[in-house]
Chain A
């Protein structure tokens, strides 16, 4: 049974916004409509079914209309057209009269806001009790309930403090407690954790999941953060910049089977190249590194073994000095030189362990020389080769083969190609 069903929902801002609906049906874009009639399309024909007890995440970039969509569900924003049904009711929330709408807001759904929306002139307990106060509950009843919920969200002991005295994370706990105090069936969470510090955000996400396992609400969660969406969402809807829903599905479905280029770009850019860092794709096997005194023979042997055209060179303290190429090593060997020192080059191709893959790509794009991952003391931590970067960006599973590579035989294909490239 769908707990919340959204059908053909449109929200268009501007004068006479209904004019825009036929234009949208003709397939005109948001910008064309803005140019022609001066109306801004926020939500374009949204259809959603949110199941009982799930966390349903709506994700999109800012300006994609996701917060507007949420506000259409409890009619903080009046939709231009469409239906919103609760519990398969025959009557849409959007057709409810003022009295009925208030009743729905009081008993069925409550909302958590990005900037908390707390009342600064009230204590924590009186903020949490606000919804009950609006319903006309007795002072003692609402106080008791407020204290209970405050304990649930982990704020016991802060009941009589003013909300301004609390940190952001704690204020949002108050916001969450206020939403839970009326014991609603549906929680609407509008970028609830976006204003928090990353560490606190992660904590709050964990706690929301834990809380949800106890309270089993139906949660509609809005976010612009894909990682948050993947972590929290039982199902995720992705909205594009035209206010359309591109895809609805579980995290796995979205990651492995993106329905459109838009979703694909989203999943790739946000999740992989910007999140995955050098540490994850570098090789740190000691034989990928040579010492100048090791001599060209050792270097060539190791390059052959790994099937690569370059190795990193470090000094005796493990500090990165530069790279040695197979050509230079061969040249040294021909001249019968014992050390590598004079052939070390590219000593500035270094990155920090935290560099995201997206930033490594330009370094390896036009060059098959690898990059060295060094820490703040300039000590060598690992080495990143072009195939790993490309594999990461394209999302192909080259990683594991490469990792195997480290302990087993080198991949002859890669080795020849790399060496050939280098020579040409």
Chain B
């Protein structure tokens, strides 16, 4: 058998990057830390009950009464279990990672929709990103960014980005050919075509991608607790390592509540854009 020593090669490459691009990783690290901490301090600034009221109001405004009631009950349950701060920390990490993933993913998706060459190069990369077991990302993340929230966020960004790229690309490609031709026949520039026709018509699909990205980010943020990202994942990890069934389930339920909250709100955004 030929031994490709693929593992060793990757290890070498990562060490080389680490040695030569410290400035880059430090920059990313500082930026992410800033954003995460900003979100955390905003979410943790008001008293718990006030924050709950704000989130319920947000849910009502975007997704209607049913989701608002669920949010109220859910957050009160979390608060009574004593996980409110951890939940907000997790939320801050999810929002930061998803935001970064979307800021990169949506433009890449638009780019892919305009060029078959780009699309065919990006596709295998996305496949790789999505199917590589999530834990594997934690290792290089730790090497580059050490322990803590930043490597957690980096791993989460990578893991949650593919749906944003894929669904943006798909949404724009699905816009009916004749509508695109119509816009061109009136003398649209590429930019006008994109902003006045393609993005508005692809919006429901793009928002479905946003929803998927946020849900994947939440699932990854919990796993990232293994490298010290903290939050609800940290509680779950403690439950596992100390075999505390109660603690594990309580923090697990908090994750589920947070997940449903995020899902319903982002879905309502998508549905809203469709009804317009």
Contacts and interface: CB of A to CB of B under 8 A. Distances in A.
A binds B: yes
Interface of A: 71, 74, 76, 102-106, 109-111, 113-121, 130-131, 133-135, 178, 182, 188
A71 B185 CA distance: 9
Given A119-B200, A188-B185, 15 more contacts: A76-B181, A105-B185, A105-B187, A110-B186, A111-B186, A113-B178, A119-B179, A119-B196, A119-B197, A121-B200, A121-B201, A130-B183, A134-B187, A178-B186, A182-B186
B189 interface: yes
Given A121-B201, A121-B276, A134-B192, A115 B178 contact: yes
Please give me the 9 A-B residue pairs with the lowest Cβ-Cβ distance, nearest first: A117-B182, A106-B187, A105-B187, A117-B178, A111-B185, A131-B186, A102-B187, A113-B178, A121-B200
Interface of B: 176, 178-179, 181-189, 192, 196-197, 200-201, 276
B116 to A, nearest CB: 14
B82 to A, nearest CB: 46
10 contacts: A76-B185, A103-B187, A105-B186, A109-B185, A111-B181, A117-B176, A117-B178, A117-B181, A133-B196, A134-B196
A118 B189 CA distance: 18
Contact of B185 (A74, A116, A118): A74
B interface majority secondary structure: helix
Contacts of B192: 134
Contacts of B183: 130, 134
A99 B203 CA distance: 29
Contacts, number: 62
A406 to B, nearest CB: 53
A133 B192 CA distance: 10
Nearest to A114: B178
Nearest to B186: A131
A369 B196 CA distance: 67
A115 B181 CA distance: 11
Contacts of B179: 117-119
Contact of B186 (A116, A120, A121, A134): A134
B184 A105 contact: yes
A182 B185 CA distance: 12
A113 B181 contact: yes
Contacts of A76: 181, 184-185
B187 A113 contact: no
A106 B186 contact: yes
Contacts of B276: 121
B213 to A, nearest CB: 23
Given A117-B176, A119-B179, A133-B196, A110 B185 contact: yes
A78 to B, nearest CB: 12
A6 B184 CA distance: 21
A119 B201 contact: yes
A76 B184 CA distance: 7
Contacts of A104: 187
Contacts of A109: 185
Contact of A134 (B176, B178, B188): B188
A72 to B, nearest CB: 13
A168 B134 CA distance: 50
B154 to A, nearest CB: 36
B254 to A, nearest CB: 38
A120 B201 contact: yes
Nearest to A77: B181
Contacts of B184: 76, 105
Q: Which of B176, B183, B185, B192 has the most chain A CB within a 10 Å cutoff?
A: B185
A424 B52 CA distance: 103
A131 B188 CA distance: 8
A101 B176 CA distance: 23
A144 B232 CA distance: 57
Q: Which of A76, A109, A110, A117 has the most chain B CB within a 10 Å cutoff?
A: A117
Contacts of A116: 178
A326 to B, nearest CB: 62
A131 B201 CA distance: 18
